[in-house]
Amino acid sequence: MMEQLVSIKNIQIPIVIKSFRTSKSIKIFFRNNKIVITKPTRLSIKRIIPVIKENEQFIYNTYMLGIEKTKSNTSTWQTGETIFYKGEEFEIVRELKQGKRCYVSISETDKQIRVTLPIGINEQDINATISKTVKKLFKEATTALIQGRLPYWNSITKIPYSKFSVKDAKARYGSCEVKSKTLHFSSRLIMLPENVIDAVIVHELCHIIHANHSKDFYDLVEQYIPDYKNINRWLKKNRNMILY
């Protein structure tokens, strides 16, 4: 992997170049406030430099649009804002009370995420404090959900796995370590509808059999999730749904 800053129209744009054996072509996209360029391993970095030059306008537009979308989806945790939980919009309700800690609770009946902050908290610390607490809550909720759904899909697919982990990830819904049969899931999965979460689980299980995105891989996924193509399109279209 190589990372560098490229100046385009007086904007310093961070660009990360990654090589993959399974890549068949060069791809350029925005992720985590950076432009990511993926390429086949056979292509040297020198071959990519002209590609960057030829695609400066596209890179600039992609970067600026990505930054704008990220800003518009960054929560300030104010009362009245909304955030997704189990595929539905929940309203944020914020209040101050005596105490020393930040508390976050979820009311599925009222469709609310209630944030309680200590009186006198430094305004500059509020967003980071709430985000940290929400991440912990979502990780616990996602872990509990995976603990229930993964054994179910394991019994359906008969695909063995060794263990799973849950961590905060915005760029990937899940990943699979084929050799160890270890599955990794984003703690933000709890923000998605249950049928979509099931599709992510099956997707990662099937990677234990096919460590690629070949036709055989997708055929296997669709044996268990017949509507996978539509769900996959939905995931790509609604990727900003898990940002906060």
121-140 pLDDT, tens per residue?
Answer: 887 788 889 999 999 999 99
Average pLDDT over residues 38-46: 90
Q: Topology of 140-242 in CATH?
A: Zincin-like (3.30.2010)
For residue 114, give the nearest of 77, 74, 168 by alpha carbon: 77
Residue 220 CA: distances (Å) to CA of 74, 110, 137, 193, 203: 36, 39, 33, 22, 9
1-5, 87-91, 179-183, 201-205: segment of lowest average pLDDT: 1-5
CB 184 within 8 A of CB 175: yes
Rounded CA separation 146/140 (Å): 10
Amino acid (1-letter code) at residue 136: K
Rounded CA separation 20/40 (Å): 5
Rounded CA separation 217/22 (Å): 14
Tens of pLDDT, residue by residue over 209-227, are 999 999 999 999 999 999 9
Tens of pLDDT, residue by residue over 71-95, are 666 677 888 888 999 999 999 999 9
What is the structure's pLDDT at 195? 96
What is the structure's pLDDT at 74? 66
Q: Domain limits of the chain?
A: 2-71, 82-129, 140-242
Percent of the chain with pLDDT over 70: 98
